[in-house]
Amino acid sequence: MVEFPNGEREDYRTEVAALTMSFRVFLNLRSHGLLSLHFYPFMNSNIQSPDILQTQLPVMEQFYTVQGEGAFTGTPAYFIRTAGCDVGCVWCDVKESWHTSGYPVIPVEELAENARQSGARVAVVTGGEPTMYNLDALTEALQQKGLRTHIETSGAHPLTGNWHWICFSPKKFRKPLPEIYARASELKVIVFNKSDFKWAEEHAAEINPDCRLFLQPEWSKAEQMTPLIVEYIKEHPRWSVSLQTHKYMNIP
Ligand code: SF4
């Protein structure tokens, strides 16, 4: 049973049963005049078992763009945004990713091939909260295609998959699991108000020594918080500033 921030509960076993029964039928009249049927499975509601979804995942969107945030800012990357998130940040800018309704379930092989064909060297798996799913098969498929595998996670669920880079962005709305602190490559704390500096240091105190530290203004508060972040990192130089540069560039 999965409980969402709004209190809604979903039994994933019911959803899996629904998935097997839910097909969208596409009629295709071929040039030779015969009618053929193509069946595509679609998610028709919310969440699925992390154990079941290894070779296919609910995906909200996939696109080739430039990484706008954190240590790899400015790097071309193929983004795979899984659908489904149970963290519930009040300032979330992708709330449409919280549920899986209406989003296709896509084989990981297809996702990896799309990433390869884009020409990207880096695949970024984001969400939603991607760690709600078992990502072993996805990272294996991506790496077999020659891509680096990066993930962006709040650390709220056990981390599966094989990663070249782990961006850990803790959220106040759901406590991270302890295991993520030893594995994170990058700690990215979103600064929404002044108290978040102290909160950022609490996470930094637990993080592994090789992890890079970033403070990033929440987009709607960027005007107020960016000057405070600049002053803070000048006084605490182990931190760096991260900006959502993709929003300044008006790209996805
Ligand atoms: S973890 Fe990410 S996707 Fe989920 S609510 Fe927070 S900001 Fe939105």
What are the phi and psi torsion angles at 245 (to 5°)? -65, -25
Rounded to the nearest angstrom, the distance between the alpha carbon of 37 and the centre of ligand 1 is: 38
Pick the residue with more confidence: 46 or 188?
Answer: 188
For the chain, domain boundaries: 52-249
pLDDT, tens only, 132-155: 999 999 999 999 999 999 999 999
pLDDT at 108: 98
What tokens appear for 19 in the block? 């998935």
Q: Ligand 1 pocket check: which of 154, 168, 177, 189 to mutate, most ligand atoms within 8 Å of Cβ?
A: 154
Rounded to the nearest angstrom, the distance between the alpha carbon of 94 and the centre of ligand 1 is: 7
Rounded to the nearest angstrom, the distance between the alpha carbon of 38 and the centre of ligand 1 is: 35
pLDDT, tens only, 218-247: 999 999 999 999 999 999 999 999 999 999
- Residue whose CA is at the smallest distance from ligand 1 atom 3: 128
Mean pLDDT of 60-83: 98
Mean model confidence pLDDT for the chain? 84
Residue 8 in this model has a pLDDT that exceeds 80: no
Please report where in the chains the tokens 């979330």 appear, as a residue. 92
Q: What percent of the chain has pLDDT over 90?
A: 79
What is the C-alpha to C-alpha distance for residues 218 and 93, in angstroms, rounded to an integer?
Answer: 10
Rounded to the nearest angstrom, the distance between the alpha carbon of 42 and the centre of ligand 1 is: 23
Distance of CA 202 to the CA centre of its chain: 23
| Residue 14 neighbours by CB under 8 Å, 6+ apart | none
Residue 14 in this model has a pLDDT that exceeds 60: no
pLDDT tier, 50 (very low <50, low <70, confident <90, very high otherwise):
low
pLDDT tier, 44 (very low <50, low <70, confident <90, very high otherwise):
very low
| Ligand 1 residue neighbourhood (C-beta within 6 Å) | 85, 87-89, 92, 94, 97, 127-129, 154, 171
- Residue whose CA is at the smallest distance from ligand 1 atom 7: 92
Report field, pTM of the whole predicted structure over 0.75: yes
Please, is 152 exposed, middle or buried when counting C-beta atoms within 10 Å of its C-beta (0-12, 13-18, 19+)? Answer: buried
Rounded to the nearest angstrom, the distance between the alpha carbon of 34 and the centre of ligand 1 is: 47
Choose the CATH number for 52-249 among 1.20.990.10, 3.20.20.70, 3.40.190.10, 3.40.30.120.
3.20.20.70
